[in-house]
Amino acid sequence: MTHQPVEPSSNRATRLFGDLLEDLIDAVVNSPGRALAERRAAFAAEPMAGAPGAFAEKVRRRAYSVTDADIDSLRRDGMNEDAIFELTIACAVGEAYSQLQAGLKAIGGRP
């Protein structure tokens, strides 16, 4: 599965928060690391198979309920600590960005 780089520069959130938001998103989805494809999919909330997919959904919807068993499942699926960290951050930042866009839209403009 090939993922396109995220291009956040055309939305209202980027205009409001400038380069900081764009730099954060770029670092999360495009910087070198252990789980590049998974990070991009997690940021964009794209479906993923197996343990990474279940974990990503859990982080996005119920982060408070992540347990050691969830992390162990990712390890059994072949992910190391760095890849697990990257996946977690991408999910969290992607969900926060999605909620920011929804909030901006709700207060009278498109994101």
Question: What does the pLDDT read at residue 4?
Answer: 46
Q: Is 90 exposed, middle or buried (0-12, 13-18, 19+ CB in 10 A)?
A: buried
Is 39 part of a structural domain of the chain?
Answer: no
Q: What is the pLDDT along the chain (111 residues), one digit of tens a residue?
A: 344 444 444 555 556 676 788 888 888 888 888 877 887 888 888 888 889 999 999 999 999 999 999 999 999 999 999 999 999 999 999 998 888 888 878 887 655
Is 12 part of a structural domain of the chain?
Answer: no
Is 73 part of a structural domain of the chain?
Answer: yes
Is 1 part of a structural domain of the chain?
Answer: no
Question: What does the pLDDT read at residue 1?
Answer: 39
Structural domain of residue 96, as residue ranges? Answer: 52-111
Question: What does the pLDDT read at residue 62?
Answer: 93
Is 15 part of a structural domain of the chain?
Answer: no
Residues 6 or more apart in contact with residue 11 via CB below 8 angstroms? 101, 111
Question: What does the pLDDT read at residue 18?
Answer: 63
- Residue 38 C-alpha from the chain's centroid: 9
Q: Looking at the 3D structure of the chain, how many domains does it have?
A: 1
Is 46 part of a structural domain of the chain?
Answer: no
